[in-house]
Structure 1
């Protein structure tokens, strides 16, 4: 009887990770977006993989906090399963950061689909360290759905779009 109570108490002490949520929206300008997001173990940070389908589809990985993260470009590292930091330059504005470079997005989403946890490391607007850990989606289905809405394939860096005709003429 005592062993059963201990097992029940131990099982209830381990909270399940917060689930990833899939959302699809279309704004007033007709821009359709599909995103998959999760709240961090800290209860306030958010990690998002998003596809915006406008004139050109854009996929981004985004990080949000309640405290201001600054303005402009800054390095952000993501550690998958406590491995080495995959650091890329992200754009910041207010409480959010994002990266939309196709090579970075491909690398990060590929690792995200395989890992069990991811930790985001950066600095806030006051240049103090910020760190937040998130569960991963537990597979690639949700990530594939978001990437697919923008014509991306998980693990494949999409080719760069051709330069506009005016730029090609200047290069010659």
Structure 2
């Protein structure tokens, strides 16, 4: 535990929230498709159970210790009479494998979701790859049609415009 960096989730350098991070990230690994699959399982858990992963643990350090010890969130509802929920729970557990290479790929997750008795349907998308390192930045850029910060030329223009207005008015 001495090698683990404990920080506030909003200040983590790698991004992400502790309750959704794969164990390899706590050991100094980097985000990749396998860690995203782990995070997907945490989101699926939250949707299925209507509770945060490790909702019973108050401190992020306790969540980190639990994940590193191999613990995963427990179901809060029985699945005896619900085949779809049981199938989703089985998928979640596969996505939580300790060994990242044992986790299903995004394509395999989609295949499994399509065969579940929940009437999931496939939609066409542009990318056929399982992982796109630029996707999150593309998504963020799509939300902001204008750059978040002005360019140096725009800043200079604003400064000179303000200076011109101030000298004209004085």
Q: TM-score, normalised by structure 1?
A: 0.26
Please give the TM-score of this superposition, normalised by the length of structure 2: 0.27
More strand by share: 1
Larger Rg over CA atoms: 2
